[in-house]
Amino acid sequence: MTVQHHPATALQGAAILPLKDGRDGGLVFTIAVLSFLACIAVIAALAADRAAQGWARQLAGSATVQVRPMGGLSGPEAAAQAAEALAGVKGVLEARAMDRKSAEALLEPWLGKGNIPADLPLPQLVTVELDPEKPATAAALNQALKAAHLSAAVDDHSRWMADVRASSDTVRASSAIACLLISAAAGAVIAFATRQGLAARRDIVEVLHLCGAEDPFVARLFQKRFAGLAMRASAYGALAAAAVGAILRLTGGSDGFSPALPIAWTDLAACVAAPVLGATVAAVSAHSVAMAILREQV
What's the min distance (Å) between Cβ of 288 and another protein? 16
# of chain residues touching another protein (CB under 8 A)? 29
Q: Does 291 bind another protein (CB under 8 A)?
A: no
Q: Does 12 bind another protein (CB under 8 A)?
A: yes
Residue among 118 and 211 whose Cβ is closer to another protein: 211
What's the min distance (Å) between Cβ of 197 and another protein? 14
What's the min distance (Å) between Cβ of 198 and another protein? 16
By CB under 8 A, the residues from 234 to 273 that bind another protein are none
Span from 11-19, 33-41, 133-141, 187-195 in contact with another protein (CB under 8 A): 11-19
Instruction: Give the per-residue SS3 of the chain.
Output: CCCCCCCCCHHHCCCCCCCCCCCHHHHHHHHHHHHHHHHHHHHHHHHHHHHHHHHHHHHHCEEEEEEECCCCCCHHHHHHHHHHHHHCCCCEEEEEECCHHHHHHHHHHHHCCCCCCCCCCCCEEEEEEECCCCCCCHHHHHHHHHHCCCEEEEECCHHHHHHHHHHHHHHHHHHHHHHHHHHHHHHHHHHHHHHHHHHHCHHHHHHHHHCCCCHHHHHHHHHHHHHHHHHHHHHHHHHHHHHHHHHHHHHHHHHCCECCECCCHHHHHHHHHHHHHHHHHHHHHHHHHHHHHHHCCC
In the shown chain, the binding pattern of residues 103 to 142 toward another protein, with x for contact by CB under 8 A and - for none, equals ----------------------------------------
Cα 16 to chain center, whole Å?
A: 41
Span from 4-12, 96-104, 175-183, 236-244 in contact with another protein (CB under 8 A): 4-12
Residue among 18 and 132 whose Cβ is closer to another protein: 18
Burial class (CB in 10 A: 0-12, 13-18, 19+), 90: exposed
Span from 8-16, 143-151, 243-251, 275-283 in contact with another protein (CB under 8 A): 8-16
What's the min distance (Å) between Cβ of 293 and another protein? 13
Residue among 11 and 118 whose Cβ is closer to another protein: 11
What's the min distance (Å) between Cβ of 222 and another protein? 15
Burial class (CB in 10 A: 0-12, 13-18, 19+), 288: middle
277: nearest Cα among 244, 246, 237, 243: 237
By CB under 8 A, the residues from 188 to 227 that bind another protein are 203-204, 206-215, 217
Q: Does 13 bind another protein (CB under 8 A)?
A: yes
What's the min distance (Å) between Cβ of 208 and another protein? 7
Q: Does 16 bind another protein (CB under 8 A)?
A: yes
Residue among 19 and 118 whose Cβ is closer to another protein: 19
Contacting residues toward another protein, per CB under 8 A: 1-3, 6-7, 10-16, 18, 203-204, 206-215, 217, 295, 297-298
